[in-house]
Structure 1
Amino acid sequence: MRIKTFEIRVDPAFREHDERTVNEFLSAVRVPRLHCRCLRSRSAWMLLVIFNEETADEPAMRAALAGRHLPAGAELTPGECERFEALRVWRDRRAAEMGCKPFVIASNRDLLNVARSGAASPADLLSIAGFGSRRAERYGEEIAAVLGSVAEADFD
């Protein structure tokens, strides 16, 4: 994680430029947290961005997923991307612990279906394509915990 600060001046002559600078930066990174403070003495807002740099393969991964796994014209929301990424990290770590390939636990398509479903419990997984009773029983609690941690992070 890294930190970057921005000053957004209230004066309309500068504000548009400052906002454009911030927006360009935000479009290039993954931001788990933002903090802001009014700087009355300087007539500005201070923005503290805690971010992760987007790796070179992340845009390609999102584009590939959208092209192969989603209906034409559909896009992932930021929340769906975040849930998918959290599930993918969990699956990859779990596979490494088990000494197997990640797809044995769940394919990317299965994880995408879970990320898009809004499942909140192991029982909810049974209604998702790719999750039968065995997979839901084996991994359901862990998946629900991963989705719960993403939901909690959204409220921080």
Structure 2
Amino acid sequence: MKVKVFHIRLTKENLQSDQDNLNSFLDSVTVKKTATELINGQPNFWSILVFYDDQKTERQVKNSDKISITDENELTDEEKRIFATLKQWRQDKATQLNIPSFMVCHNTELMTIAKVKPQTLDELSNIKGFGGQKIAKFGDDIIAVLNSI
């Protein structure tokens, strides 16, 4: 098992690039455990400690048939509007839970939801990043957001 530390700076200039960097890393490894801490400094940032293994396990390779959209340019104007609504929901949920927004859902997951527009929890499970735990925590909220649009 290996360890890597990430800092997610809470500034407009750095937040998205730091999150994208973390998301890219998380997509390439098998995460074993994480620890987070909000650090008050200049600027404030989340320090994230990731314990991981280099190679994906067989279970994760099997999940590679799940749907994933990784580029916002693949979205239509309507899907971009849905994506923006989902990002606002994610921010509100993260604030409510007092966690960073990327810990609720990654941008790639939200883009894929905007593209696929799942109507059931079963359809949501076809999206990369949505397993039993995430669906149990956020699935009903996501379906409700989609139905309200």
TM-score normalized by structure 2?
A: 0.51
Counterpart position of 1:137: 136
Are 1:91 and 2:87 matched, yes or no? no
Structure showing the higher helix proportion among its residues: 1
Counterpart position of 1:70: 71
Contact kept? 2:94, 2:100, Cα under 8 Å? yes
For residue 140 of structure 1, report the CA deviation from its aligned partner: 0.6
1:99-130 Cα offsets, whole Å, 9 max, x none, are: 00000010111111111112112221100011
What is the letter of the counterpart of residue 81 of structure 2? E
SS in structure 2 of the partner of residue 128 of structure 1: coil
SS in structure 1 of the partner of residue 74 of structure 2: coil
Number of residue pairs aligned between Structure 1 and Structure 2: 82
Counterpart position of 2:80: 81
- Identical positions, percent: 29
CA distance in 1, matches of 2:81, 2:121: 19
What is the letter of the counterpart of residue 78 of structure 1? D
Larger Rg computed on CA atoms: 1
Are 1:115 and 2:114 matched, yes or no? yes
For residue 70 of structure 1, report the CA deviation from its aligned partner: 2.4
Counterpart position of 2:124: 125
CA distance in 1, matches of 2:117, 2:106: 18
Counterpart position of 1:20: none
CA distance in 2, matches of 1:131, 1:75: 20
- What 5-or-longer segments of structure 1 have no aligned partner? 1-63, 151-156
What is the letter of the counterpart of residue 101 of structure 1? P
SS in structure 1 of the partner of residue 130 of structure 2: coil
Contact kept? 2:71, 2:108, Cα under 8 Å? no
Mapping for residues 55-66 of structure 1, pairs under 5 Å: none
TM-score normalized by structure 1?
A: 0.49
Counterpart position of 2:28: none
